[in-house]
Structures are given as C-alpha cells and as structure tokens.
Amino acid sequence: MLPALVAASAALLTLLSPPAGAQPVTAVPAGATAVTVMVCDQPDGCSVAWQALADHCTALGLPVLDFDDVALAGPAGGDARAELDQALVAATAHADLDAWEAARDALRRTPLTLPPAEPFALWLALGAARFDRGDPAGAEAAFLAASSSSGARVYDLPEMSAGALGAYLEVASRPQGQATLRVLSDHPGATVFVDGRLAGPAPVELVVSQGWHRVTVERAGRRAAWVGEVQAPAEQVLDVRAELTEDDAPAALEAAVIGAIAGSPPPPEVGRSLGAWARAQGLTTVRFVQLVEPGAFGRVPQERVPSQAGLWDLRATWLDAGAGRFRPRGDGSTALRRAADPERFSLGMQAGYARLQQKLDTGPDPHDHLDVQLVGLLRLSPAFSLDARAGLWRAAQPWYLYRDWLSHELFPLALGPRWSDPRLGLYGGVQALAVVPVAVGGQLFAGWTWRPTVRWRVGIEARGGYTDVGPTGGASTFVTFAG
C-alpha cells in the first residue's frame, strides 16, 4: 500500500510540474500583482540579454515583459481599443440596455480617435435599447447624440424595433441649430478630429450641429489622443482646450525609464502614465531592468543573472503603481515571486510521525505510526484555503515485539480551513478528522513553509487533536507543488 501511494503521488506531481523550456509571457498574467519589464538602449538590440532575463525569470516563475509590450498597451493604447471592442461584442450579443450602457462607458474611457460610424452606431443602439425598455426620455437623449454627431444620418441604419426606428427618424428630422467649436491646444499644430473627422491643426474653428460631439487631439509620437465630449449650444461659440503637456510617446517613456534606472529622477508625468497602465493591469509594483556584461555598470548590481553565455549584471528601478513614483531599490525577486503567484491550488505529499492513543481489545496498543499523506489546497482568498487530506498510518513500534507489527494500518481523512501568511511562510488551521476505521474527531495544525521556487514548497508541520478513542498528534515534513 505504502509504495503504491508514494509512486502515485510522485507521478501526479510530475504531471503537474511546469514543462521544460517554458516561454516568457508577453502580457500581464491573470492574478499577478508585480512584473519585471526589460528596457533596451543598445543600438544593435538586446536579444541575447533578453533571452537570458527571460530564461532566468521563467525559471523563478516571474512574469517578464519587453518594454515595447508596455509602451504600446495600457489604458492609453491597445488595451483600451480591445476593451471597447469586447464591450461592443458583448452588447451586440446580449442586446440589452445594461450591455449598451457598459459599451458607452468603455467609449468614454477610450483615448483614441475613432471612426465616425462607431460612436453613431453605439448611440443609436443605446437609444433603441432605452426605448424598448420604456424610457422615451433617455432614448431621445441618445438619439439626439447620434443625430448631432452624424449630421442627422438616416441611411444604413442598424436593425432595431419599429418603434425605436420611428423615434430616431423623428429626432433626426428636426431642424438642427448650429454652433461654433473653437479647439485650442497647448501644443500648436496638434491634429484635431471632431466626431472622427479631420478638422485640421490646432488651433481650429469649425461649425457643427448643436448637441453632442467627441473631440480628439493627437500629437505626433503620442500613443493616445486627448479626448473630450462636449455639448455644443446653438448659435454660440464653445472653446475646447486640450492639454497635451504629458509626453507618453514610447520613445519618451523609454528614455525616462532608462534615466530612472541610471539614477536620474524622471519627469512626474512618466510615473503617472506608467502607473495608470500598471493599475489598469491590477499591478502594484513594476520592476524596470537593464542587463549588461559584468562590471559595465561600475557598481554592485542589484542581481546577477546567469545564462549559457555567462553572467549578466542587472540594475533596476522600481515603480510604485499606486503613487506613480520610481524608487531606486525594491525587495528583489522574492517579492516579485510572491506577488506573481496567486496559488489557486496546490498538491503535496508529507511524511512523518503520527500518534493515536487508542486501546485495542485484541492485543497491544499500536499508537505510534509512520505517516504518509496527500494534501490538497484550494485557495478561497489571499489568506484562507480549504485543506483536504488523505493518507496512510502504519504501526511503527518494533519494541513491542508483537506479531505483524507493521501490518496495522489506519487511513486518516481530514478537511478544514487553513490560514496562511505567505510573507512569513507561517500557516495554521483546524480540521474535522476521521481515522478509518477506528476514530472520529478533530485536530489543530500549524507549520512553516519555505519557497525555493514559485511552484515548489517545502516545510514542516505539527498537529494535535482529540478523537473518540483518545488524543492524537504528529509531526511531518512535506513537499508541495503550487499552481
């Protein structure tokens, strides 16, 4: 029984182990709260250094990204476009008011110039959903926005109910007043778009229909546009001022981060821009790093990275996403490993000693046992897990010299909550206990865990409790695989 249980445990742990040669991620993985981002300033590229860092971080279970993945994404880039697209797909699939309201909110959060047809179609669908829900006033407001931003468009309309279609056509047929938009910018020459249509370089003045309009202002090199939604009043001039002082062009961001790594404080807007990206990804900490050959920094590196080609020196700057500020040093790979490990489940094997103080009517009392158990954990929250165990106790006191002293077998089954502190490695909990076929009761347990890698744990544990045949206790050491 014992050899078979050990063999089965080893096989299962092998199947759950991460495959050799795992590739680094190129996007923030779900559940991660910290990542490492590599920045390159070598004119001939950093492919060798990048591979060394990727191999090193992958071996430790750390998410690692290239800076280009950061500079071209985030709330001011590709992720915003993807979020809007997902919201539109969901709204089209569900065709209900809540989904279209969510799509409208995603539109407002998207700092990009959009084609004229997209806001028009969204406002039209939102108005139809409000009309069908029995909200004619809300429907009229959405239809007015669709009409004013499209020039009272009445052709190629999406499918909608007959009542909603009639309501929109009535709104679009009303005489539309005119207003004057005067778009100013602190960056003269920036390109201005109104409702997705090119208006010219700032400053620019143009006549539009009264009502809702979406104004975007772009500067060459920026990854995002300045966006403003306005209500233009009839027969009046409305001034719109676009503030473009923060430079979020990828090249500017990269230069500022390289300066921070070298010890030069970057402009505050760089921290704000990258902090906004990090918070949108659910991150609290971002480590920006560079790798060079040993000794090239001229000072002690924050970390040494091994590779097949030799060693690399790593220097870094750490971004606090919440405050949007850089600091020269952080807690090192251990903190990144903890933060990057949501540990949704784990499976392990422990071996040690167990004692059940029982009295047998058939002979000597084998209360000392060899203990082997499988332990499974299901994470319920950052601090609490469900701890389930199944194992084998085999009598282990040859000094009693009774016949077949190694044949007495018991099967402990336990289930209960576990509290843990991943920073200190301490844990404890309480469980209902059944020792088949002789006893039922409960036990308390506590232990300490050490993490040599992000996936593997080793540690020690002590247990104690009481059953209907007497007290029980034990101690063991364990190895666990976490996923």
- Distances 299 to 247, 267, 296, 315, 380 between C-alpha atoms, Å: 31, 25, 8, 10, 44
pLDDT, greater one: 376 or 2: 376
Structure tokens at 389: 């165990």
416 near 431, Cβ under 8 Å?
A: yes
Q: Which CATH number is 178-242's, of 1.10.645.10, 3.30.470.20, 3.30.2350.10, 2.60.40.1120? A: 2.60.40.1120
420 phi, psi to nearest 5 deg: -145, 150
Average pLDDT, the chain: 82
Model confidence pLDDT, tens digit, residues 165-217: 999 999 999 998 999 999 998 888 889 999 999 999 999 999 999 999 999 99
DSSP 159: P
Q: What is the pLDDT of residue 470?
A: 86
Which amino acid makes up residue 5?
L
Report which DSSP code applies to 400.
G
Q: Give residue limits of the domains in the chain.
A: 2-74+249-339, 78-172, 178-242, 345-482
Where are any strands of DSSP class E within 34-132?
34-38, 64-66
Asked if residue 379 has pLDDT above 50, the reply is: yes
**Average confidence (pLDDT) over 42-49:** 79
Alpha-carbon distance of 216 to 389, in angstroms, equals 59
Q: Say how far apart CA 253 and CA 126 lie, in whole Å.
A: 38
Q: What percent of the chain has pLDDT over 90?
A: 40
**This model's pTM is above 0.75:** no
Largest Cα separation within the chain, whole Å, is 107
Answer CATH for 345-482 from 3.40.50.2300, 2.40.160.20, 3.40.228.10, 2.40.160.40: 2.40.160.20
Q: Give the whole-angstrom CA distance, residue 145 versus residue 64.
A: 44
Query: Positive or negative, the Cα torsion across 323, 326, 330, 333?
Result: positive
- Point out the least confidently predicted range of 32-46, 147-161, 199-213, 374-388: 32-46
Residue 59 scores a pLDDT above 80 = no
- CA atoms within a 13 Å half-sphere pointing along the CA-CB vector of 91: 26
pLDDT in tens, 306-358: 887 788 999 999 999 888 899 888 777 767 766 655 567 889 999 999 998 87
Res 23 pLDDT > 70 = no
Phi, psi of 278 (to 5 degrees): -65, -45
- DSSP labels, 250-289: HHHHHHHHHHHHHTPPPPHHHHHHHHHHHHHTT-SEEEEE
Q: Is 192 helix (H, G, I), strand (E, B) or coil?
A: strand
Residue 418's pLDDT band (boundaries 50, 70, 90)?
A: very high
DSSP single-letter state for residue 164: H
Q: Which residue has the higher pLDDT, 372 or 331?
A: 372
DSSP 449-464: EE-SSSSEEEEEEEEE
Q: How far is CA 403 from the centre of its chain?
A: 59
Q: Give me the pLDDT at residue 354, please.
A: 92
Helix residue ranges per DSSP H, 323-373: 333-339
Place of tokens 């300045």: 226
Residue 414 dihedral angles phi and psi, to the nearest 5°: -140, 150
pLDDT in tens, 420-477: 886 678 999 999 999 998 889 999 999 999 877 667 889 999 999 999 888 999 999 9
